[in-house]
A and B are shown apart, each in its own frame.
Chain A
């Protein structure tokens, strides 16, 4: 079925893919072969090829310069935006105009290309699950993502061979997942604190319509920042306690990317432990000494308190924009892994005066909601409708560098606005429009989305009547149309995205992604699964030959069936099936293995060692 649409949560730290199970009507996350629902959003560029997910995450500390994590924070951004943060990132970010470029593994890549590797892995995971190709997806983004960041996400999808049929805001997706059974009608606040981004959305749920009233957030605030303040605090503590060793060995940990990455990972692990425990011990081995210290939840809370405090301003602004006060909120929903931090829960509860919902796994709820929206688009659900808003005001630069707002923030989308323009010089053929997004009055303080150049027929000044239409589609992405009314000719528009990829670049990236497809870790993992299956088949065959007379007919038949099933699975491409069949053969031969072991011990098999027959289990 080519009309299948999957739901993808492309997260800062982890990504997931989900779908709606036709039988139950409920959304489900598709796990990997080992049953893990989360795919770490980590991509390593190694000499052997590109590695994604858990294997890439495992080498974060080993190959810090070539392993990209938290790339979502770089999507749709320029070097100037991220250079402060770049100091803390172990991989190299190239200085330059336009969108951010990374230098990793001896090549230059853009954030959409890195995200495309993650999306492709999820696409393949879904394809294995369904046993057919998947081409369409709903992908979620933080509600507060601007146009360039949304466009970059769409580009990532295209590079991965996915048609992104809808971009959905993460908090709204979460409300859809909850809305299926758990929300009653009323006003809902969704507080979404993820690995790198923070969003808050206020929705009215009524008659199956999920109407977003206001949204606010910070696209640079999340669990990553918690880890960073904790890591820097640890760094100071290490310097204070072990300065003798550090001085002796002339070590500056802050300049050692591997040590810093170890520190960051240790900080993250400690933060996670402190969500469920009151105290924890950190042990970090360094060359020449081992750092150990006990840390309490109060220590962590003292460090992250200012960060948690930064989420409260956007919550109040969203309430004000919705024309509501905290008392008007009927339900509060928590989304994102960082809402597991007890301090975050306390602050949210204090602000809204309600015990927040967290029945659904905060890591999975966004993907589940994306699957629900995908099902709506596929025609599977007709009684639910999501009415989202554009998070930021959209305008044009006018004289004096002032922004003239055409579409104010929190306008329900799709929406459109029209403006009429004319020329100031005789025979003018080129009109330049500078489109901006943001809440500040001056163009220089807003985000430049791009320049649109309109080409028109020459006419005396003031004669042309150029109608420019801005349309924000249901994805929150801007489209611009222009028409010169006197000649009734559509003016041709050239879009120059400030922090984006142009058509040619996306095209080239799609081609590139096919050329390195062979090196994909997913393919490699399939090969590994087949190798494991081969090993087990050899051992099972040998065991049957040696010990067929030691077990009864029924058991022999069961083993033969399992072996036949594994042979069949091995010839296919479904890694999950191969894994399952391999486990089944192992289980079926368990008893035979014991019998053979006994026999070997009794010397019935002469001097041959049992392990030689059975293989290392």
Chain B
């Protein structure tokens, strides 16, 4: 759509320039006089251009999108080969979650004692640092490796992507849980850093409607 090569490392200034050009071409503002049907079509195109730019400008979203493309999935869900985080990480996250649950029941009785608080805060800082490292690795060296890889090497890199994405999802979820228990700096950081969106454990069932069978990407 943007006329750029299908690479993970993208020239963001060029991407933005092309996005502005496409946005101009397809924005409903410039097609007010068109018949209703035509306007609806332009609005849909405009929505598509916006969604594409949103995905492509973010290096992590680019990787997620690539994994889906490579697996021939249109949807975010429904992959047979579930992404797995390293078992060591799972074990560690499980332990933190347990400590958290304990801290919460303690907090429910009274105030959280200072030692527990300090330990949890320390853990959060460490998780945040690892999250940042993981994201840098995904967007940087791993993405660059994909771009220069021979077709035979790609499945291995794809697996690395999936593991890194899963690791990131766990780090984000647990880090957000810590923030929730600790309270505090949510205002400054908010969900921009530790969003509940994009969590690997997103709820998949819904009330009154039966299950939903997957959410296709736009």
A414 with B209, Cβ < 8 A, contacts A207-B20, A320-B192 known: no
A316 touches B203 (CB 8 A): no
A402 with B203, Cβ < 8 A, contacts A419-B215, A424-B211 known: yes
Q: With A and B bound together, what is the CA distance between A402 and B50 in angstroms?
A: 27
Contacts of B20 on A, CB cut-off 8 Å?
Answer: 206-207, 209, 211, 385
Contacts of A404 on B, CB cut-off 8 Å?
Answer: 202-203, 206
- Write out, one digit per residue, whether chain B residues 147-180 have a CB within 8 A of any chain A CB (1) or not (0): 0000000000000000000000000000000000
Q: Verify if B59 is at the interface (C-beta below 8 Å from A).
A: no
In-complex Cβ contact of B54 among A396, A401, A412 (8 A): A412
Give the Cβ gap from A320 to chain B, nearest Cβ, in Å.
4
- Write out, one digit per residue, whether chain B residues 68-90 have a CB within 8 A of any chain A CB (1) or not (0): 00000001000000000000000
Give the Cβ gap from B131 to chain A, nearest Cβ, in Å.
15
In-complex Cβ contact of A412 among B33, B53, B188 (8 A): B53
A447-465: which have CB < 8 Å to B?
461-462, 465
Residue of A nearest to B192 (CB): A320
B32 touches A379 (CB 8 A): yes
Residue of B nearest to A405 (CB): B197
Of A60-68, A249-257, A425-433, A583-591, the one contacting chain B is: A425-433
Contacts of B206 on A, CB cut-off 8 Å?
Answer: 396-399, 404, 421
Q: With A and B bound together, what is the CA distance between A238 and B106 in angstroms?
A: 49
Of B21-29, B93-101, B113-121, B135-143, the one contacting chain A is: B21-29
Q: With A and B bound together, what is the CA distance between A385 and B24 in angstroms?
A: 7
In-complex Cβ contact of A414 among B30, B47, B75, B203 (8 A): B47
B29 touches A385 (CB 8 A): yes
B213 touches A420 (CB 8 A): yes
B205 touches A399 (CB 8 A): yes
Residue of B nearest to A423 (CB): B210
Give the Cβ gap from B189 to chain A, nearest Cβ, in Å.
6
Contacts of A419 on B, CB cut-off 8 Å?
Answer: 212, 215-216
In-complex Cβ contact of B210 among A378, A424, A472 (8 A): A424
Contacts of B193 on A, CB cut-off 8 Å?
Answer: 320
Contacts of B218 on A, CB cut-off 8 Å?
Answer: 416-418
Residue of B nearest to A443 (CB): B207
Q: Verify if A323 is at the interface (C-beta below 8 Å from B).
A: yes
Q: Verify if A377 is at the interface (C-beta below 8 Å from B).
A: yes
A431 touches B209 (CB 8 A): yes
- Write out, one digit per residue, whether chain B residues 33-77 have a CB within 8 A of any chain A CB (1) or not (0): 100000000011011101101100000000000000000000100
Contacts of A439 on B, CB cut-off 8 Å?
Answer: 191
A411 touches B43 (CB 8 A): no
Contacts of B214 on A, CB cut-off 8 Å?
Answer: 420
- Write out, one digit per residue, whether chain A residues 299-330 have a CB within 8 A of any chain B CB (1) or not (0): 00000000000000100110011010000000
Residue of B nearest to A430 (CB): B208
B23 touches A387 (CB 8 A): yes
In-complex Cβ contact of A385 among B23, B54, B212, B216 (8 A): B23
B29 touches A474 (CB 8 A): yes
B187 touches A425 (CB 8 A): no
Q: For the complex, count residues of B whose C-beta is within 8 A of A.
A: 47
B213 touches A422 (CB 8 A): yes
Q: With A and B bound together, what is the CA distance between A416 and B215 in angstroms?
A: 13
A474 touches B43 (CB 8 A): yes
B29 touches A376 (CB 8 A): yes
A317 touches B187 (CB 8 A): yes
Q: With A and B bound together, what is the CA distance between A413 and B43 in angstroms?
A: 9
Give the Cβ gap from A466 to chain B, nearest Cβ, in Å.
9
Residue of B nearest to A441 (CB): B196
Residue of B nearest to A404 (CB): B203
In-complex Cβ contact of B50 among A316, A415, A428, A465 (8 A): A415
B190 touches A321 (CB 8 A): yes
Q: Verify if A408 is at the interface (C-beta below 8 Å from B).
A: yes
Q: With A and B bound together, what is the CA distance between A405 and B196 in angstroms?
A: 9
Give the Cβ gap from A384 to chain B, nearest Cβ, in Å.
9
Q: Verify if B132 is at the interface (C-beta below 8 Å from A).
A: no
Q: Verify if B145 is at the interface (C-beta below 8 Å from A).
A: no
Q: Verify if A490 is at the interface (C-beta below 8 Å from B).
A: no
B43 touches A473 (CB 8 A): yes
Q: With A and B bound together, what is the CA distance between A165 and B196 in angstroms?
A: 36
- Write out, one digit per residue, whether chain A residues 112-143 have a CB within 8 A of any chain B CB (1) or not (0): 00000000000000000000000000000000
A398 with B207, Cβ < 8 A, contacts A321-B192, A387-B23, A414-B28 known: yes
Q: Verify if B17 is at the interface (C-beta below 8 Å from A).
A: yes
A422 with B51, Cβ < 8 A, contacts A206-B20, A209-B23, A385-B23 known: no
A385 touches B187 (CB 8 A): no
Q: Verify if A290 is at the interface (C-beta below 8 Å from B).
A: no
In-complex Cβ contact of A413 among B17, B50, B212, B215 (8 A): B50
Contacts of B191 on A, CB cut-off 8 Å?
Answer: 439
Q: Verify if A180 is at the interface (C-beta below 8 Å from B).
A: no
A425 touches B210 (CB 8 A): yes
B190 touches A320 (CB 8 A): yes
Give the Cβ gap from A277 to chain B, nearest Cβ, in Å.
35
Contacts of B24 on A, CB cut-off 8 Å?
Answer: 209, 385
Give the Cβ gap from B198 to chain A, nearest Cβ, in Å.
9
A432 with B209, Cβ < 8 A, contacts A317-B190, A414-B50 known: yes
Give the Cβ gap from A420 to chain B, nearest Cβ, in Å.
5
A377 touches B29 (CB 8 A): yes
Contacts of B192 on A, CB cut-off 8 Å?
Answer: 317, 320-321, 323
A411 with B50, Cβ < 8 A, contacts A398-B205, A402-B203, A416-B44 known: yes
Residue of A nearest to B43 (CB): A414
Contacts of B17 on A, CB cut-off 8 Å?
Answer: 207
In-complex Cβ contact of B212 among A378, A387, A412, A420 (8 A): A420
B197 touches A399 (CB 8 A): no
Residue of A nearest to B193 (CB): A320
In-complex Cβ contact of A416 among B27, B51, B187, B203 (8 A): B51
Q: Verify if A234 is at the interface (C-beta below 8 Å from B).
A: no
Contacts of B50 on A, CB cut-off 8 Å?
Answer: 387, 411-415
- B210, B211, B215 — most chain A CB neighbours (10 Å): B210
- B23, B47, B202 — most chain A CB neighbours (10 Å): B47
Q: Top 9 nearest A-B pairs by Cβ distance? A: A424-B210, A398-B206, A412-B50, A416-B47, A414-B47, A320-B192, A399-B205, A399-B207, A209-B20
Residues of B within 8 A of A (CB): 16-17, 20, 23-24, 27-30, 32-33, 43-44, 46-48, 50-51, 53-54, 75, 187-193, 195-197, 202-203, 205-218
* A-B pairs with beta carbons under 8 Å apart, 18 shown: A206-B16, A206-B20, A209-B20, A313-B187, A320-B189, A320-B190, A385-B23, A385-B27, A404-B202, A412-B53, A414-B50, A419-B215, A419-B216, A421-B210, A422-B209, A423-B210, A471-B43, A472-B47
